[in-house]
Structure 1
Amino acid sequence: MVSKEISFDSYGRLEPHASITTPVHLKSRNYFKFPELNFDPGANYKMISAVLDIPISEESFVSEVNQLMENSISSLRPDNHQNIIAIPFFTPKLLESDIGQVMEDVLIPTVGASYKNRFPEYEFKNEFPHSLSGHLKSISGLGHDRLEGALKSGPVIGICFFILREYSIHAAREQIKLLGEEFGLAGAIDLSSAFVAQPDLLFHKGHYPPMIWMSGCQTSWEHANFHYEAYGYNLMFNRRVHYDQVAEYWSHGITCFKSL
């Protein structure tokens, strides 16, 4: 169960706790919208298995993910869980200790392959012009570190919930500490894995979608972090400065996972 009383607005956004001291929008007009996505672990499995070797059957994946979802909804207690953007994912065992190198060698190319499978007429671009090696680290105690540790032993499955919208990076880090160790703040690994499973996460023809920070990780730059963002109908990975502020189109994910 979560460690503090929490509440959601009518759009499925986790409302910021009163104890948060860093920049956050107290209310949202929901101008930047995720597309309407059905929770469909079977469809996610098919996207994953097209680009990665996944060591469990579709039936087992669906069953395990549905149990994770049931447990998470029981803990979060949203008023209407149909409004919650929740993306099942799979991440293979890490064979490299440098997260930036894992992104460069495995995760970014796999996101690109999955996006091309889903949208052959559009493209995914890595717009960061330098090597990522040495530039990404998990932050102790925020959950991405637990995910990284588990992946050193073997693969995991999980769910990424996009309920932290219009939070600064530091406010998202404050909020996740109130949810207990069941949930972690999404960083480079789990966020990238979610895009492999759901490449249309930011593909919205009717509205402007948000961008998503990798806020569970720290970078080599004090006031900058990496993110995924839609650029027209294409998808982009890049670095951006944030200066510890908040913007209406910023979003973050929270993750629960289970080792296989």
Structure 2
Amino acid sequence: MDMSSLFDDYGRCLPQGTTSQVHAQIRRYYEIKQPELDYATVFSRIRSNFGKSTQLTIDLFAKKIKAIQTNLESSAATRNITQGIMVPFFIPRLSFTDIGETLETLFIPTVGKSYAQKFPDYQFVSHIVGSLKGLLTVAAGSRHDKLLQRLTQEDVVGIYFPCLLEYSVPATREIIANLPKEFLLSGGFDTVAAIIGSPDLLFNKEKYTPLLWFSGLEAEKHTIGYHFEAYGYNLTFNRKGHFGNVSEYWNSGLTVLSD
């Protein structure tokens, strides 16, 4: 591994300079398999399941994704992230006023449609009781606001990297300050869009997969968070307390957007 790299040989972000809980050494017991990088299929899943118009074409989507990857590979500091899991996605331009309400009414149901198409014998289940309206805001310092601002103006294309394995949620919000400006801490819309395009992201018959936090979002209490989690071969959406702790079962994502 290049000593100037911000990521290890498996694409995990190195926990340098964090004071919150994080495991410096990990055994990778919980593992995500790389979904097939079929840009046409990913594009079609997202477009058809969102059911919204987009200025993007399959070719333009693929071109933008490849440009992100090329840019990351051009720097010794960031190229190792491309050795890990990469999940391309796009989100059609969207006007919204409340993050939680939009997740509840648009994004989460769309995950259910995509998962059912890919795995008709299994289920996507949301365990959230009650409305999400007013419960979610952008976490301070996460840079996630950059994605939301762009989304109100244009279709957003990016790659989701679940590379913060065995970080506490507070540690994910610390590490982002040490990374180049193109890295955003993944929240709800981007994590969901990644799974809509690649519904098998947490499907692994050989190994257990980690939970995926929405670390770029602050929940109604600082000690809880929202997440996706595999339960057998089903996919679930839920919230739970993290209390600032770390677990080898926990993962969060970094998002890099196209220019």
Q: TM-score, normalised by structure 2?
A: 0.92
1:203 is aligned to 2:208: no
1:132 is aligned to 2:121: no
Indicate the residue corresponding to 1:23 in structure 2. Answer: 21
Indicate the residue corresponding to 2:49 in structure 1. Answer: 51
Q: Is the 2:212–2:252 Cα contact (8 Å) retained in structure 1?
A: yes
Q: Structure 1 residues 136-145 or 70-79, which shifts more?
A: 70-79
Indicate the residue corresponding to 2:187 in structure 1. Answer: 187
Matches within 5 A, 1:139-154: 139-154=139-154
SS across alignment from 2:88: strand
Amino acid of the residue matched to residue 15 of structure 2?
Answer: P
Amino acid of the residue matched to residue 40 of structure 1?
Answer: D
SS across alignment from 1:237: strand
TM-fit CA distance, 1:15: 1.8
Indicate the residue corresponding to 1:229 in structure 2. Answer: 229
1:212 is aligned to 2:206: no
Matches within 5 A, 1:42-191: 42-52=40-50, 53=52, 54-75=54-75, 76-79=77-80, 81=82, 83-191=83-191
TM-fit CA distance, 1:77: 3.2
- Between the two proteins, the alignment pairs up a number of residues equal to 254
TM-fit CA distance, 1:121: 1.1
Q: Could you tell me how far apart the structure 2 residues matched to 1:30 and 1:41 are?
A: 28
SS across alignment from 1:164: coil
Q: Could you tell me how far apart the structure 2 residues matched to 1:87 and 1:236 are?
A: 19
In structure 2, list runs of 5 or more residues that go unmatched.
none
1:13 is aligned to 2:12: yes
TM-fit CA distance, 1:199: 0.6
Amino acid of the residue matched to residue 33 of structure 1?
Answer: E
Q: Is the 2:141–2:176 Cα contact (8 Å) retained in structure 1?
A: no
Task: Show CA shifts across 1:163-193 (max 9, x none).
Answer: 1100000111111111122110000111111
SS across alignment from 2:32: coil
Q: Is the 2:126–2:237 Cα contact (8 Å) retained in structure 1?
A: yes
TM-fit CA distance, 1:45: 1.2
Q: Structure 1 residues 68-77 or 158-167, which shifts more?
A: 68-77
Q: Is the 1:11–1:30 Cα contact (8 Å) retained in structure 2?
A: no
Q: Could you tell me how far apart the structure 2 residues matched to 1:141 and 1:251 are?
A: 18
SS across alignment from 2:253: strand
Q: Structure 1 residues 56-65 or 8-17, which shifts more?
A: 8-17
Q: Could you tell me how far apart the structure 2 residues matched to 1:20 and 1:8 are?
A: 15
Q: Could you tell me how far apart the structure 2 residues matched to 1:185 and 1:22 are?
A: 16
Amino acid of the residue matched to residue 192 of structure 2?
Answer: S
Amino acid of the residue matched to residue 13 of structure 2?
Answer: L
- Quickly say closer, same or farther: Cα 1:172–1:187, change in 2 above 3 A: same
TM-fit CA distance, 1:71: 1.2
Q: Could you tell me how far apart the structure 1 residues matched to 2:41 and 2:6 are?
A: 30
| Deviation beyond 6 Å, 4+ runs, structure 1 | none
Task: Show CA shifts across 1:96-134 (max 9, x none).
Answer: 210001101110011111111111111111101110001
SS across alignment from 2:163: strand
Amino acid of the residue matched to residue 15 of structure 1?
Answer: L
Q: Could you tell me how far apart the structure 2 residues matched to 1:36 and 1:142 are?
A: 25
> Percent identity, aligned pairs only?
37
Q: Could you tell me how far apart the structure 2 residues matched to 1:226 and 1:243 are?
A: 13
SS across alignment from 1:142: coil
